[in-house]
Amino acid sequence: MKIISFSSGKGGVGKTSITSNVALGLSQLGKKVLVLDGDLGMANVDIFFGVHPKKTINDLLAGESLKSCLTPVAHHVDLLAGGNGIYELSHLNSFQRREIIAGLESVNYQYDYLIIDTSPGLHDHVLHLNSIADECYVILTPDPSSLADSYALIKVLQQKYKSQKFSIICNQVKDEQQGAQLFLRFAEVVQQFLTVRIQYKGSIPYDVNLKISNQHQRLIIRQDPKSISAQALRVICSEIESQNKTIDRATGNVKGLDMLFRPASGHA
């Protein structure tokens, strides 16, 4: 089971939209996917899938088996829903975190992917969820504060958890060109001050159809597969999947839209 997390410094950039659609997109490629709603306390992946989970992560922490806490949300996609409005969930202690990880490990061989949606910002549990991911996706938007906040997230993950590798998706952009330019602008700053490796994984255009689909609790990739955002999301799914195969075969060398950055000097 490959673990992928979607996170951002700033809120409202599209993490949950991307998590849900990528989960569905990977299942359409024949993969088995488990989604963890890691936006603990403010969970909403279930709303995006239009389901009403009977059990949540709360039941897992109360001692139930992971399997009994899962909600099937699509063919080959199961969800471990987060609790809503539960303050304690957003302040898990290390024992509770270990309980969740142990539960997830128990189904390691039943899924191809574990996809984690997170809450925005630098909370401990967000950092921890990102640190267990094989691949940590950071979502940028053209909003200038999104760049600054994502930079801060990467910096803290590197300092606190020694994370070295991040994947970047530019969401809500005008077109592919704006997405690539946004990445390059971000990469320039990262290159200057941090010793991490960042990879550009593509962009998703601003698409009013995606917004409307979300409002109707339908996923764009199923609702309107020909829309510009659904097409971009499918490209990202194929990229995730082809990279997974590449990693399986080779020895950790990832090919594709890879950008390797070495440190210059100084601190930001």
Ligand X SMILES: Nc1ncnc2c1ncn2[C@@H]1O[C@H](COP(=O)(O)OP(=O)(O)OP(=O)(O)O)[C@@H](O)[C@H]1O
The binding site for ligand X (CB under 6 A) comprises 8, 11-17, 39, 119-120, 171-172, 204, 206-207, 210-211, 214, 229
**Shorter beta-carbon distance to Mg ion: residue 37 or 78:** 37
Minimal distance in Å, beta carbon 99 to ligand X? 24
**Shorter beta-carbon distance to Mg ion: residue 140 or 194:** 140
Q: Could you tell me the CA-to-CA distances from 265 to 110, 155, 260 in Å, in that order?
A: 45, 14, 16
103: partner contacted, choices Mg ion, ligand X, none (Cβ within 5-8 A by kind): none
Q: Can you give the three-state secondary structure of 155-212, one letter per residue?
A: HHHHHHHCCCEEEEEEEEECCHHHHHHHHHHHHHHHHHHCCCEEEEEEEEECCHHHHH
Question: Are the C-beta atoms of residues 146 and 13 closer than 8 Å to each other?
Answer: yes
And the tokens for 175? 């077109």
Q: Which range of residues in 12-20, 21-29, 49-57, 62-70 is near Mg ion by CB under 5 A?
A: 12-20
Is residue 16 close enough to count as binding Mg ion by CB under 5 A?
yes
**Shorter beta-carbon distance to ligand X: residue 171 or 199:** 171
State which of positions 85-104 bind Mg ion (CB under 5 A). Answer: none
Q: How many CB atoms lie within 10 A of CB 70?
A: 19
Residues lying near Mg ion in the complex (CB under 5 A): 15-16
